Structure 1
Amino acid sequence: MNKRHAASTVTALSLLLTLAACSSSDAGGSTASDSSSATAISHIHGLGLSPSDGRLYVATHEGIYTPDAQGKPKLVGDSTDDFMGFTVANNGTFYASGHPAQEADGPGNKGLIKSTDAGKTWKTLSLAGQSDFHALDYAHATLYAYDSTNGLLRTSRDGAMWKNGATLQALDIAVSPGDPNLVLATTAEGVARSSDGGKTFAPGKEPVLAYLSWSAKDFLYGIDTSGGLHRSSDGGATWNKVATVPGGQPQALSTIDAGHVLAATQSGVYESKDGGRTFTERLAVESTGGH
């Protein structure tokens, strides 16, 4: 490895680690007791849309939020836990992971938790105290999860029994909507590729991306550490930068279909319905910039 490439790899790793930084030691924060007042959201970890009504759900350091009538964040349910990995499986069914709020009881890592009422209440399924899933993807009736505590890819059909896959240092994962064996992961070296369902990964290849989302076969999206939105039509073999999302450093990415993109950055949640050509602010947030 030459010095220039080594320096770029260190820089990329530093950025990815900064994006991923969040631990139970600083869990907890503000709540939204009054949706008409400004709510400070220190960090967004996940995005999802309800398939039934298109409602936006935002997983944050202080709970799950959704926009109120004025587009301001409104707390869903009562939990102000730190939600890390987050995915919407189907109508009303969410999976998540993370840490308890500062004032809450329980182990530092929540393992895998599940909601069947669109985030109002949650129950523990497995691995409480053992695993912190920083990335979750539900595809092909299977949960694909990156366990940051143990540095490995895991899969489960029921959320209770798990199969261990490859060991790697990653920030996010995405599963091909057409092939359950094709899994991608973002690493400091670039996008790593698995063709055996996450059992093994090839070394990462540039570009270095922070987050991925893959909801349509020929429309794989990724966002880099500066907010650049990239798209691949060949399963991640090649990439083209299509836009820059407003707001700077990214915090989460989710795609709904071929042209429908949601991205969270330091200044808010932005939505594009034309593949990144234009963005509108979907959720007004007052970010504190913390992790």
Structure 2
Amino acid sequence: MSRMWKLVVPVLLLTAACANPTPATQEPPAPPATLAHVHGLGVNPADGTLYAASHFGVFTVPADKAPERVGDRAQDTMGFVVVGPNHFLGSGHPDRPEPGTAPHLGLIESKDAGRTWQTLSLKGAADFHSLEVKHNRVYGYNSQNGQLMVSENQRDWDTRGRVAMADFTVSPADPDVVLATTREGLERSTDGGRTFAPAAGSPRLVLLDWSEGEVVFGVGVDGIVHVSGDSAATWTAKGRVTGTPAALAAKGSAVYVATESAIHASTDSGGTFTLRQALK
């Protein structure tokens, strides 16, 4: 097993633990009010606030004060994507499991910046560990069956290829071009995620974000941030963060990387990073 995929094991163990809900006869313990175990990052275009989706709910992460959980739900938000102003999609595991129901949220939606959430589809059936919204479509990697899934209406889904991936990203220019990080290395699809082939010459990456144009950001398991300016044909190593990479978000020259111990921020396209928030 490669070094990159050794680091996936703790995540899989954590996911397995989440799949064993508290018995209905017991009151579930109150979730911690502190930010930890970050799974996703995103910037709300309504006000520029950084949001972190975590094992204990969704938090705001302002630059000048402590993180604060949004709303009264503390679901284990595994997949998370900012769709637009105050508009988020997510997935993961409920904080209040329902007896007799598989502990998977399916696709959930918030239109008030994470304060409240509604189920859209696949409740009990899907646990999306990675989500993207581009080309008026939702792309999701379902950890329950190892398949990429795509929906144009957020309710009916087309099942695409089965690939063991840590993360994926979609070209902003072409809905059929998808990049995925796998144990064999970076792979590319040109048919909407139905099939994948190795992307020769690419660094060993675990996280990806194709935010705009031909610029793709990636983070290696060693914490080195790589940037491509030609749609992942070639890459340049930039800055580095300490810790095991867990989440990545990029917008313009702003890049955020979460590890198990901190959220790091860059304002120069990943060249240098400063500590945004230490994690418990």
Q: Which amino acid aligns with 1:210?
A: V
Give the deviation of 1:21 after TM superposition: 4.7
Structure 2 CA distance, aligned partners of 1:192 and 1:145?
A: 16
In the alignment, is residue 225 of structure 1 matched against residue 221 of structure 2?
yes
Q: Secondary structure at the match of 1:283?
A: strand
- Give me the TM-score of the superposition, normalised by structure 1: 0.86
Would you say the 8 A contact 1:222–1:230 is kept in 2?
Answer: yes
Structure 2 CA distance, aligned partners of 1:11 and 1:260?
A: 28
Q: 2:235 aligns with which of 232, 239, 245?
A: 239
Q: 2:211 aligns with which of 186, 201, 215?
A: 215
Structure 2 residue aligned with 1:199: 194
Give the deviation of 1:209 after TM superposition: 1.0
Q: 2:2 aligns with which of 4, 7, 10?
A: 10
Structure 2 residue aligned with 1:108: 103
Would you say the 8 A contact 1:151–1:167 is kept in 2?
Answer: yes
Matches within 5 A, 1:243-254: 243-245=239-241, 247-254=242-249
Structure 2 residue aligned with 1:35: none
Q: Could you report, residue by residue, the CA deviation over 1:27-81 in whole angstroms, capped at 9, with x for unpaired residues?
A: 776332xxxxxx2x33100000011210111000000001368521101001111
Q: Secondary structure at the match of 2:14?
A: coil
Moved more, 227-236 or 64-73: 64-73
Matches within 5 A, 1:83-102: 83-101=77-95
Structure 2 residue aligned with 1:22: 14
How many residues are treated as equivalent by the alignment? 268
Give the deviation of 1:19 after TM superposition: 4.6
Give the deviation of 1:18 after TM superposition: 3.6
Structure 2 CA distance, aligned partners of 1:170 and 1:47?
A: 18
Structure 2 CA distance, aligned partners of 1:216 and 1:228?
A: 21
In the alignment, is residue 66 of structure 1 matched against residue 60 of structure 2?
yes
Would you say the 8 A contact 2:265–2:273 is kept in 1?
Answer: yes
Give the deviation of 1:249 after TM superposition: 0.9
Give the deviation of 1:281 after TM superposition: 2.4
Structure 1 residue aligned with 2:161: 166
CA RMSD of aligned residues (A): 1.9
Give the deviation of 1:100 after TM superposition: 1.3
Tell me, which stretches of 5 or more residues in structure 1 are unaligned?
A: 1-8, 33-38, 287-291
Q: Which amino acid aligns with 1:110?
A: L
Would you say the 8 A contact 2:4–2:206 is kept in 1?
Answer: no
Q: Which amino acid aligns with 1:15?
A: L
Structure 2 residue aligned with 1:6: none
Q: Give percent identity, aligned residues only.
A: 41
Q: Secondary structure at the match of 1:178?
A: coil
Structure 2 residue aligned with 1:4: none
- Give me the TM-score of the superposition, normalised by structure 2: 0.89
Q: Which amino acid aligns with 1:221?
A: F
Would you say the 8 A contact 1:72–1:285 is kept in 2?
Answer: no
Would you say the 8 A contact 2:170–2:179 is kept in 1?
Answer: yes
Change (3 A) 1:69 1:13: closer
In the alignment, is residue 52 of structure 1 matched against residue 53 of structure 2?
no
Structure 2 residue aligned with 1:260: 254
Give the deviation of 1:210 after TM superposition: 1.0
Structure 2 CA distance, aligned partners of 1:120 and 1:283?
A: 22
Change (3 A) 1:21 1:261: farther
Q: Could you report, residue by residue, the CA deviation over 1:218-256 in whole angstroms, capped at 9, with x for unpaired residues?
A: 3200001121101112212222211102x3111100111
Would you say the 8 A contact 2:239–2:273 is kept in 1?
Answer: no
Quick one: higher RCO (CA 8 Å, sep 6+), 1 or 2?
A: 1
Structure 2 residue aligned with 1:147: 142
Q: Which amino acid aligns with 2:262?
A: G
Tell me, which stretches of 5 or more residues in structure 2 are unaligned?
A: 22-28
- Greater than 4 Å deviation, 4+ residue runs: 26-29
Structure 1 CA distance, aligned partners of 2:64 and 2:213?
A: 35
Give the deviation of 1:26 after TM superposition: 6.6
Structure 2 CA distance, aligned partners of 1:13 and 1:29?
A: 32
In the alignment, is residue 188 of structure 1 matched against residue 183 of structure 2?
yes
